[in-house]
Amino acid sequence: MNPSEPLLIDTDVVIDYLRGNPQAIAFIQQAPLVLWISSMTVAELYAGVREGEERELLEQTLATYILCDIDSEIAELGGLYRRDYGKSHGVGLVDALIAATAKLRGYRLVTLNKKHFPMLDNVLIPYKKH
pLDDT tens digits along 61-118: 999 999 999 999 999 999 999 999 999 999 999 999 999 999 999 999 999 999 999 9
Element at 15 (helix H, strand E): helix 11-18
**Over the range 58-86, which residues count as b (16 or more CB within 10 Å of their CB) and which as e?**
beeebeebeebebeeebeebbeebbeebe
Structural domain boundaries of the chain? 7-116
Question: Domain 7-116, what fold?
Answer: Rossmann fold (3.40.50)
Question: Rounded to an integer, what distance in angstroms lies between the CA atom of residue 14 and that of residue 41?
Answer: 9
Residue 1: per-residue pLDDT? 58
